[in-house]
Amino acid sequence: MDKEANHLLRSLSSLVGPFPQWDIEQLPVRPGLLFSDWLKHAIESDIKEPHAMTLSTVDPDGYPDARVLILKHILDDSFYFASSSASRKGQQLQGNPHVALTFYWPALGRQIRVKGIAQDQGDEAGAEDFRRRSAGARAVAMTERQSQMMESEEMLDPAIEEQKELIRRNPELTTPHWRLYAVVPHEVEFWQGDPERKHMRIRYVMQDSQWNKVRLWP
């Protein structure tokens, strides 16, 4: 099976293209502006879930931990996401707010990497984001059991239905564990892939309270 898997992997193509042109002579002064331009292009290109991103945190033992979630908002140069503070990632953020975000749109050959600090936006911001979620998503979050071991499959649906009933009775119901986080970056890299591996990479770095841009080797 290992040989078969190796053969299958080597038979797969990558960075086939064609990819969009990128004029690096006309770069915005801030990474948030460039991200917004790239996101708009991804949406117009019908990229599926272009707002999906990988959030990487660090656990108490120093191991990186990553999962895919949704970008909620981008304001200036900060990237927003939401999660329960009682979840594994929520607990990791309390212990170490240093995070990384990764976006990858294969059809465009584009990747964006963000490194920064995740900052809790407070009670009202978390409650407002929670109220915007669907009833089903709110009900699952209100079970307050994310990442916990599930002893029995039969426990799942009744627990969710119980929370749905509470929401039907009080549509404004929220949970204090739901938090909105803003990732304030100190480094953002934009990567445009090339079929010949002559990738174009631009890194924005925050230095002395201003953004500096550098071109990187492929």
CB-neighbour burial class of residue 19 (10 A; exposed 0-12, middle 13-18, buried 19+): middle
pLDDT, residue 18, reads: 94
Q: Taking each helix axis from N to C terminus, what angle separates 156-169 and 135-142, rounded to the nearest 10 degrees?
A: 120
Q: What is the dihedral of CA 14, 17, 23, 29, to 10 degrees?
A: -50
pLDDT, residue 145, reads: 75
Nearest to 188 by CA among 114, 79, 80: 114
Number of H helices and E strands in the chain, helices first, is 6, 9
- Go through the domains of the chain in sequence order and give each one's CATH number: 25-130+177-216 (2.30.110.10)
Cβ pair 149, 130 in contact under 8 A? no
Below-50 pLDDT ranges, the chain: none
Long-range contacts of 195-203 (CB under 8 A, 24+ apart): 195/15, 195/16, 195/17, 195/19, 197/15, 200/22, 200/24, 202/24, 202/27
Predicted model pTM: 0.92
pLDDT, residue 152, reads: 78
The DSSP string of 61-113 is TS-EEEEEEE--EEETTEEEEEEETTSHHHHHHHH--EEEEEEEEGGGTEEEE
Cβ pair 175, 142 in contact under 8 A? yes
